[in-house]
Structures are given as C-alpha cells and as structure tokens.
Structure 1
Amino acid sequence: MPVPAAATPLEQKLDAYIASYMEAMNAPGLTLGLTGADKTLRTAGFGYADVDKRAPVTTDHLFQIGSITKSFVALLLLQLRDEGKLDLRKPVLDYLPGLPIVTEFGPVTVHHLLTHTSGLPDNLTLFAADPSARLIQGFKPGEHFHYCNAGFDILGLLAAKLDGRPWRMLVEERIFKPLAMSRTRGVITTADRARAAVGYQPYWDDQVYPRQGKLAPAPNLVMDDTAGCIQSTPDDMARYIRMLLNGGKGPAGRIVSEEGFGLFTTPYIKAEEFSPTASYGYGIAVDTLDGHRILRHTGGMVAFASSIHVDLDGGAAAFASINAMQGYRPTAVTEYAVKLIRAQREGKPLPAPATIADPMDVDNAADYAGIYTAPDGRTLEFAAKGKGLSLLDGERPIPLQRQGGDAFVSTAASSYAAHAFAFGRKEEAKDPDPKKKLPLIEVSYGPDWFSGAKYEGPKSFHAPAHYGGFTGRYCCDSAWGGSAEVYILKDQLTVDGTPLAPIGGALFRLGEEPWSPMTAEFLHMFEGKARLMRLGGADYWRVEVG
C-alpha cells in the first residue's frame, strides 16, 4: 500500500497507525489534513485512489466530505443572519411556503432544522416522485434529536433564496474564496471525475458485509443536495478547520461574526450518535474530551466516509476521508492525530494509539455457544474456541465476525451470507441495568427464529395475515437505496430486522421509538402482493430474484 515518507516521530507514529487502521478496516485509500491555529501542519495521501490501476492517493484528489457539508450550510445561514436577512427563530415556511412538509406538531423554525430537532423524517429526498408526497412530523419540534438530511436540503434552498444565487455559487463566494479553498467543489458532478478518487462500496448489496468483504467501484454520483454535496482536498479542508480553530476567522477576515460563531458552537441538544458526551450545535457536533472543547462531525456518502476533529482549546485539528463506505467513519484517525499534535506541543510523550479491535475476537464467545432450536425442529449450533465464535454447519465451522453488540456475520462464502445472526437476551422485569449482561435466550437469522435452553416464553407466533402480502425483497434505483428485505420475525413485520409498528392500513413506523417520523408504506397491491415500498421517502420496487 502506498504511504508517504514520514519525517518526524509524530508522523512515523501516526502513519504506522493509519497503515494498520486501513488494513484492519479494509479501506482502499485515505486522505489526511492536519493544522494548527496558524498554519497547515501536514497533508498526505495513503493507499489507492484507484485500486485497479494501482494509482496512489495524492493530496490533489477530491474526496466527498458528506455531512461535514452541513457545517458550511450553517455558517452561510449565520452570515445571512449577521446581514439581517434571516431570523433563526422564524418558521421556515414563512421563507419557503412551497415546501412539501406537514407540521401538525408545531412550526418548524430554521433553528430546529439546524439542530436536527424539527420532527421531520430523515428522507433520502425532499421532493419525491409522487407530487402529493409530504414530509410529515413525528414529534413536537425541539423535543428530540433526530438526524435529518432532508432538513439540510431545505436549508440549502433557503440560503440560495436569501442570497439570490444557487448553492454552488454562494458557497464558493462566501466561504471557498475567502479561505483560499481553490480546489474545493460545492457540488458533485461527473465533470470532476478525473480529479476525484474512485469510491468503493460492498460488492453485494443483498448480503451482510464482513469487514474484509469484497468491494466494487461505485457508480458516478451527481448531487447538489446540501446535506452532503461538497468534495474537497486535504489542503483545502485544513484551511477550513483552521478557520474553525480561530473562532470563525479566516486569513482575510471573519467568515462569521463572533456572535454567530457562538451560536454555531452552542450545545443545544444531546447527540449521542457522535459520542456519549456530544451535543449538537448548528450543523456541527459539540463535545468535551480530556477537558477540551471539541467540534466534530462525520460524513457518510455512497462510497466515501469522512471525519473532522477540531480541538478549540488545544489549537489543533484534523480531517480524514476514506474512499469506501462500509458503515464506519475514520474518526479514530482524526482523534489520534489531534492527540499526537497536542502532546508534541505540550512536550509530553507521544501517546500510543488505541487498540484497533479485531471483530473476530469475541471476549465472551462462550456465552453464545450452544444449540438453538426453531419451532419446526431445525437447529443452529454455535461453538466457541478461545475468543473465536463459529457456526457449525455440518462438519464445517463457519467463523463469525462481530457486527456490533450481539449481532454476528459469516465471514465465509456460504448459505448464511444474507443476514446477520442476532442474539437476544432475557429482558429484566424492571429497572434494567445497562452494564449487566443478561442471559442469551434466542437467536434469529432473518425471518428464522431459534430458542435457546434458557428461553421460557412462547414458541409459536401469529402475525396478522395481511403481513404476508408485504414480505419480500425490494430494490431502489437510487445509489443511496440498494435493496431491502421485508420479513416477519416471530409476529413482527421488519425491514432487514428493524421492526415496523403499524400506524394504519399499509403504513408503518420504522424502529422502536414511538415518536420516530420514519415510515414505511406498502403500495400497489396486485395479486396479493405489494409491488412498491416507500421507505424513508424513497421508492423500493418488489423484485423476485430467488
């Protein structure tokens, strides 16, 4: 794998960690930008921008930064506020009355959209193919943090209307040019394909993905959705995060007023999906680590994943992006880079990196071992050997990799590649202790359910008869959608294991939160089967492929 020449002990330590991280996480390439408050400290490329051509990543390659774009949107709107053109507490429908949203739980303000507290669903698109479709709230604005890409699509439209120029022009004039980000693009187009690293995604979209699974080049993407449409280089991103380190000041003056930057970095609501201690500001996560104030965000695209980590008190910041989407972000790289910079500045020993967990190591593997039995008599047998967990398929053990929590996936080509093995634990009657490991009592593999020796509940289940018309595999034409399988687990209708709660007729709420605005709807019933599932606003068509 191509790596840059490391000149200092800090670079040697960081580069060694990045090399091991990329190998462990199966990342084809990585781009890196490090900065202090005064200047860029380093930019570098690792691995391959094009695996087939063995073309190494260079600092000139464009990488898609995904949802880090949201912080750019927020700063633009704060500029417009500074200019007296925007009231953050005003309902967004007052500015954009034609938006396809329904606000029965209360008016959605610009503040609500900036903080992901609008109550609107996280749909793949704001404007659906069905002109009558609307984004419908699930809760009163301000009550919950619910990540909403559609909300930032709305905010981009708002910025363009108030500024009078399309997004690509206003972000270039208001942020890129003042920060000398000359190689950054505000939209993703095929015209920039020659400058961009090739992005990769899992080869099979109808199978669960093990960490070292096969990857394939992703199709070209054209996108101006301001939830995540910026592509950039490490040098330009170092300029951007240096502005954040300096409280909104760039080399030619302030990007946003001091008051505006204060609003940008105010922790408005808890956002634990970024970290257990994180809150959300305006388009940016706000955190405290090691007693320091941190700004952070990640970005996930069809075939790229990115991270920024900005230590406001330590005066150091890092950007990293990989050209693959496998369900994780390179947050560990940016965190470690900033820790190294801080230690060097403070004259302390350079810290050792955190251990990169091997998903094949299952510390409590013996807990999962045993025989589980389906109501029809079929069995699954799991065996533990040290920290390894395997499924015994006849004479052949199939090694399992931890996917997360109590879920595992097969790492071998087998008939068990379509789903994860999801183990279930006994529920505590009241006041469950999150640190207490309750007994494992069951396991499911897609729609197939198996009980263990300690299971004491019912073993026969009866789902509503009409659920059968909704089950099957559905595919989305969008690069974001892929495929999804709807099946019945016990008596619960699910999408790839995520439960669906009935709202009425063929409309269901996605997930277990009673306030979730995410829905699945089954349409076009023909010969007893739904031919279309509208999931998160995207159309998934039934396919009969085996």
Structure 2
Amino acid sequence: MISPEDVAQRLRALAREFTQHWPIPGGIIVAVSRGATLFEVPFGLANIDAALPVNREHLFAIGSISKAFVGLMILQLAEEGRLDLDSPVTTYLPWFRIGSHYPMFTLRHLLNHSAGLPAGTDALPDELGQGWWLRELSTGFPPGATFHYSNIGYILLGLVVSAVTGRPVTEVCKARLLEPLGMTSSAPCISNRDRHRFAIGYAPASDDRPWVPGDELAPATWFETNTSDGNIAANGPDIGRFLRMLLGAGRLEGKAVVSEAAFRQLISLLGPGGEPIVEFLGDAGTEESIYGLGINVENIRGSRCLTHGGGMVGYATFILADTAHDIGIAVLTNANGDCPGAQVIARIAHAWLAGSEMNVPSIQLDLNATDRTAFDPAMLGTFSSYGPDKELVAVTLATDKDGKVLLSGNGRSGRVFKSWSARYATDHPDFRIFHLTFDPTGGSGATWSYGPLELSRGPATLPKGTQASLACVGHYRSHSPWFTNFRIVQRGERLFLIAPGGVEAPGEDLELIEQEPGTFRVGAEIYAPERLIPGPMVDGKVVSVTRDGNRYSRTFTD
C-alpha cells in the first residue's frame, strides 16, 4: 500500500494538472483518519491577479456540504423532543403554502430529498422570501415516491431550526456544531465581514457559451448568504475536523459532538435514491449511492463511504469519509460550482489511500481516440442537418496524427473537448454557443446534437414547428448568479432548454414538454417538478419566461 506521504506527492502533481487543464485556479486537499491529519496539500492560486498561492488558512464556501450540518441539527432537536421527523413542515412553519395535489411533506421527506420540490428557485437571496414564495410553485410527485435533489427543501429545514429554537439557524449551527467541533476558523454564513479571508472564487469570463481550455476565468459574483442549503465557509484544517467526526461516528478526540443515535439516523434512515457520480471518471468504483438525512451513503469497492459535494458561485468542494478504511478526504477549490474537479480529485485520492488503483482518464480535455471512457469510433464521419433557417449544415469529425478529434465545417476546423458530463464542446468558431451531445443509437444511426441541429449520417430533413413554439425560441437572462442564462431552441419538432453552464444550470439539454397550455415541464423525467412558463408576446416573440419563480427576459444576443 502506498504511504500517505507518497499519495500526497502524487496528488500535488495531479492537482497541478487540473489547474493547467480545467477551470480550477486553486484549492486544498486534506486527508485525515479518526485520530489525525494525514496531510494537507494546498495548490494553485487564491488570487490570480495577485499570483497569491492558496494556503491552509484560506476560506472556501463549502456549499451543499452544509446540508450535513442541517441534518445533524434537526436530529439533535428531534432527540430532545422538540420536533418530529414525521410531522408535516407546516407544524413548524404554519405560514408555509405550496401548490400540490398531494399530502404535505414531512421533515424526513425534506431531509432525504423526496418532498417533490424543485431543485431551487434562486429568485430571491434570502431564506424567508424563498420559502414564502414557494406558494406560487407546485410539487411534482407524492412525498417519498422518488429522489429529486432540492436546495429549497434545506432552506425550509433551516427555517424550521430557527422556528423551533427561536434563534437564527446560523447561531444554532455555530453553538451546536462548529464550536464543539473546534472549527474555530469557519463561518456559519457567507458575509462581507469575512470576505478578506476567502480565496477569491472564479467562474468562466464568458457565461453564455461552454468553457473550453484556453478560455479566461474572472472573479465570480460575490454575495452574502445565510440560507441553509449552503451557508458555511471553512478552511482545510477545519473541514478535516468535520471529516474526523464523521469517521468517529459523531465523536471527535474522545468527545461526543452528536449522539451515537443521532449519527446512526443520519446515515441509516435512507431515502429512495441518491446523488449521481461524476461521469468523467467512467467507473468510480461506486456500487450504490443513496441519500441519508443530510449526507450521501455510497458503497465504494465494498466499503461504506459518506460523501457530499458542494457547489457555490465561485467554489466547488467535495468530502468523502470511508469508515471501513478510516480515511477521510476533503477537496476545497475556488472553481465555479458546476465544475466537479474537487469530486474527481477526492475519489482518486480515496482510491490511492485505500490501496486501489483507479483507471484515471487523461486530465487533458482534448477528446482522443485512445480515451476508452469518452470516445466512441461511431463519433467520426460526416454528419448533416438543416438549420432553423432551412440552410444545410454539414460537419466532419476526424482524428489528427496524434489521435485528437477535430471538427471541420464551413472551411474551418477546431478541436473537440470532452467535459465532465456526457456533453462535449469545441473551439471551432462556428460551433461555440452550444455543447455537442453524441447519441450512438439515434433514430437513423449515430447522431450529434448541437443546439437546434440534430446532425446525422442519413439524409437531412427540413425542420417543422408551430408558431407558438417558435415564439419561445431565443436567448434568455436573469440576474441570478446561480443560473444566469439559457437558450430555448427548436430541434426537429421539439423544444429544448439548453444552458452553457452555471451552478444550478442543468448539465444536459432538457426537453420542454407542455403539461397544459402555457406551462412546460423542464425535462423528460415525468416526476420533475421544474416548470417553465412563457410570458407575454410582442411582435410574435415571447418577451420573458419564468423558470420556477425566477423571471428571465429575452436578451439581445443570439
């Protein structure tokens, strides 16, 4: 088995690669056991312009890892008899309303993401406002029927903690968890008074197109937040203490931070599903992934592991605690929250520390014919489609002498890049706005999708569409930093919502399926609660659309 010192050396080199090829300026990798810190590996830059390296004292917003803290607070209060996991949320928030044909969900449903709520609303920055205006939205399925990750659900849980204790949830978190854990440098909310302690968060400078290697990064939007879906900031040493508590089943340095019973409920009262695993790794060794009451419980190569990722505007983080091997890994980065580099590094580090070799794909994102995870020989060839203006578009994908895949069309060519999801991107100047998606089993054989185009080897057919659907087609923006913009395109006879990136943006092209006149379900999943509602029309074009309570207006760019 490789020693922790050797693993740390390998991780330094790996992290350097990520900063060179992914949109990750810097971060810190922390490895612990129940009783000690094995190593800390700061890497990259906390401030690009000042060339300031990351150090162990820099704060990072840990995003949704905060949900584990919320779960523990709820379980502590339940143990004290101050609330009941199986009571409706309205027992504690009597003002709460939501449109639904189903019974009111309980605290347990909120904890394990089975309440039927949308992933998030993001229209307002504060917790009470977001909770109140859920009355304008609806749930998508009966409570407990399936798993659908929801940030707004944890915002409601934070409001429950405040209602039951009579204190702001941030104060309760500090008193009940941060202080007993010895997380003395951590902050229970993101506020301006601590801004000078943070590594600067970064995001792609151009948010209206897929990021590709070589694109610039810019400081991400900074804002204050206390919402319980992602309110905590921590540095490397502090998040290491939290991991040691997870490995100790609620105990740290001989003292119980949470009771054995509460911790057992956190990881054993499992929901109907769990979070997906990053696709970039191909096989991450995960045999099962199910969400508990604030943390994901995975079976990784036969070991029970507790995991959670965190995505914030300008920050991406991941923790993994392997209780069988007594290994805890945390990776905190100042990459934008939709970049899963922290998760990839953490899973590789876990495999190495546990004595397992992982087949790690090339960190360089150029799509190469030798890449068994991302490449399919059926991707190569000439593909064509008619565009929205009935013009014929043809592209050819081929490999160069080094096996790298190139896309050629309109007399020019560009490189094709894999991404961390099932989508691809290219630096070809005529194909920069949308991701590329490959389907090896399309209706007429293999197809590439690019925005409104469905490029196939067969004869191209002219697109059709109703006037109503064409009125929605366009580029839309809001001022929410979580999900800034998307485009609605018509592909064949179907409408799709396509986002180039963003913390809360979907990582795939989502079909818009009309549920009733003027209301579209976002995505093919029949239980999906997300809805898009077109607004008024002027001169045959929709002026704005509302996505889960957040209004987006048509913008002047294509």
Please give the TM-score of this superposition, normalised by the length of structure 2: 0.87
The 5 Å alignment of 1:417-432 reads 417-426=432-441
What letter corresponds to residue 478 of structure 1 in structure 2?
S
* 1:538 to 2:550 alignment: yes
Kindly state the Cα deviation for residue 40 of structure 1 after the two structures are TM-superposed: 2.1
Give yes or no for contact 1:406–1:424 (8 Å, CA) kept in 2.
no
In structure 2, do the counterparts of structure 1 residues 427 and 543 end up closer, same or farther at CA, with 3 Å as the change threshold?
closer
Deviations 1:323-362 (A, max 9, x none): 011532412322333344444xxxxxx8577343543234
Match of 1:136, SS? coil
Corresponding residue for 2:302?
291
In structure 2, do the counterparts of structure 1 residues 378 and 44 end up closer, same or farther at CA, with 3 Å as the change threshold?
same
- The equivalent position to 2:206 in structure 1, one of 185, 199, 204, is 204
* 1:15 to 2:31 alignment: no
Match of 1:158, SS? helix
After TM superposition, what 4+ stretches of structure 1 lie above 4 angstroms from structure 2? 128-133, 350-353
Greater shift, 484-493 or 362-371, is seen at: 362-371
Kindly state the Cα deviation for residue 179 of structure 1 after the two structures are TM-superposed: 0.9
Kindly state the Cα deviation for residue 131 of structure 1 after the two structures are TM-superposed: 5.3
Give yes or no for contact 2:24–2:341 (8 Å, CA) kept in 1.
no
- The equivalent position to 1:313 in structure 2, one of 313, 320, 324, is 324
Corresponding residue for 2:491?
489
- The equivalent position to 2:149 in structure 1, one of 147, 150, 154, is 147
Give yes or no for contact 1:178–1:250 (8 Å, CA) kept in 2.
no
Greater shift, 507-516 or 353-362, is seen at: 353-362
What letter corresponds to residue 534 of structure 2 in structure 1?
F
Match of 1:73, SS? helix
The 5 Å alignment of 1:95-114 reads 95-114=92-111
CA distance in 2, matches of 1:129, 1:74: 18
- The equivalent position to 1:354 in structure 2, one of 355, 360, 363, is 360
Corresponding residue for 2:445?
439
* 1:269 to 2:281 alignment: no
Kindly state the Cα deviation for residue 209 of structure 1 after the two structures are TM-superposed: 1.5
Deviations 1:148-176 (A, max 9, x none): 00000000111111121102211100001
Corresponding residue for 1:517?
529
In structure 2, do the counterparts of structure 1 residues 319 and 129 end up closer, same or farther at CA, with 3 Å as the change threshold?
closer
* 1:372 to 2:374 alignment: no
- The equivalent position to 1:323 in structure 2, one of 334, 338, 341, is 334
Give yes or no for contact 1:366–1:384 (8 Å, CA) kept in 2.
no
CA distance in 2, matches of 1:253, 1:406: 45
Q: Which runs of 5+ in 2 are unaligned?
A: 278-285, 370-374, 499-508
CA distance in 2, matches of 1:481, 1:544: 18
- The equivalent position to 1:72 in structure 2, one of 24, 49, 69, is 69
Kindly state the Cα deviation for residue 130 of structure 1 after the two structures are TM-superposed: 9.8
CA distance in 2, matches of 1:303, 1:144: 30
What letter corresponds to residue 201 of structure 2 in structure 1?
G
Corresponding residue for 2:469?
467
What letter corresponds to residue 489 of structure 1 in structure 2?
R
In structure 2, do the counterparts of structure 1 residues 461 and 342 end up closer, same or farther at CA, with 3 Å as the change threshold?
closer
Kindly state the Cα deviation for residue 270 of structure 1 after the two structures are TM-superposed: 2.5
Kindly state the Cα deviation for residue 123 of structure 1 after the two structures are TM-superposed: 1.9
- The number of equivalent residue pairs is 521
What letter corresponds to residue 51 of structure 1 in structure 2?
I
CA distance in 1, matches of 2:199, 2:298: 31
Corresponding residue for 1:411?
427
Match of 2:536, SS? strand
Kindly state the Cα deviation for residue 186 of structure 1 after the two structures are TM-superposed: 0.9
- The equivalent position to 2:241 in structure 1, one of 239, 242, 256, is 239
Corresponding residue for 1:3?
none
* 1:304 to 2:304 alignment: no
Kindly state the Cα deviation for residue 545 of structure 1 after the two structures are TM-superposed: 3.0
Corresponding residue for 2:418?
402
Match of 2:147, SS? coil
In structure 2, do the counterparts of structure 1 residues 404 and 297 end up closer, same or farther at CA, with 3 Å as the change threshold?
closer
CA distance in 1, matches of 2:75, 2:131: 32
CA distance in 1, matches of 2:377, 2:41: 43
Greater shift, 522-531 or 202-211, is seen at: 522-531
* 1:452 to 2:457 alignment: yes
In structure 2, do the counterparts of structure 1 residues 7 and 459 end up closer, same or farther at CA, with 3 Å as the change threshold?
closer
Kindly state the Cα deviation for residue 449 of structure 1 after the two structures are TM-superposed: 3.6
Give yes or no for contact 1:369–1:381 (8 Å, CA) kept in 2.
no
In structure 2, do the counterparts of structure 1 residues 129 and 7 end up closer, same or farther at CA, with 3 Å as the change threshold?
closer
Greater shift, 7-16 or 315-324, is seen at: 7-16
The 5 Å alignment of 1:138-177 reads 138-177=140-179
In structure 2, do the counterparts of structure 1 residues 332 and 423 end up closer, same or farther at CA, with 3 Å as the change threshold?
closer
What letter corresponds to residue 155 of structure 1 in structure 2?
L
Give yes or no for contact 2:273–2:291 (8 Å, CA) kept in 1.
yes
In structure 2, do the counterparts of structure 1 residues 354 and 106 end up closer, same or farther at CA, with 3 Å as the change threshold?
same
Aligned Cα root-mean-square deviation (Å): 2.5
CA distance in 2, matches of 1:11, 1:358: 21
Match of 2:72, SS? helix
Corresponding residue for 1:433?
none
Match of 2:243, SS? helix
CA distance in 1, matches of 2:542, 2:457: 34
What letter corresponds to residue 333 of structure 2 in structure 1?
I
- The equivalent position to 1:52 in structure 2, one of 44, 49, 74, is 49
Kindly state the Cα deviation for residue 512 of structure 1 after the two structures are TM-superposed: 0.5
Kindly state the Cα deviation for residue 439 of structure 1 after the two structures are TM-superposed: 3.5
The 5 Å alignment of 1:112-131 reads 112-125=109-122, 127=129
In structure 2, do the counterparts of structure 1 residues 389 and 352 end up closer, same or farther at CA, with 3 Å as the change threshold?
closer
What letter corresponds to residue 313 of structure 1 in structure 2?
A
In structure 2, do the counterparts of structure 1 residues 193 and 209 end up closer, same or farther at CA, with 3 Å as the change threshold?
same
Deviations 1:9-47 (A, max 9, x none): 332223222222333323110112221111222233111
CA distance in 1, matches of 2:101, 2:5: 59
Deviations 1:182-233 (A, max 9, x none): 1101111122111000011011111111244321111212111111111100
Greater shift, 458-467 or 122-131, is seen at: 122-131
Kindly state the Cα deviation for residue 365 of structure 1 after the two structures are TM-superposed: 5.6
Kindly state the Cα deviation for residue 242 of structure 1 after the two structures are TM-superposed: 0.5
CA distance in 1, matches of 2:376, 2:151: 38
- The equivalent position to 1:391 in structure 2, one of 383, 395, 407, is 407
In structure 2, do the counterparts of structure 1 residues 214 and 466 end up closer, same or farther at CA, with 3 Å as the change threshold?
same
CA distance in 2, matches of 1:369, 1:24: 24
In structure 2, do the counterparts of structure 1 residues 129 and 243 end up closer, same or farther at CA, with 3 Å as the change threshold?
closer
Q: Which runs of 5+ in 1 are unaligned?
A: 1-5, 344-349, 429-437
In structure 2, do the counterparts of structure 1 residues 410 and 353 end up closer, same or farther at CA, with 3 Å as the change threshold?
closer
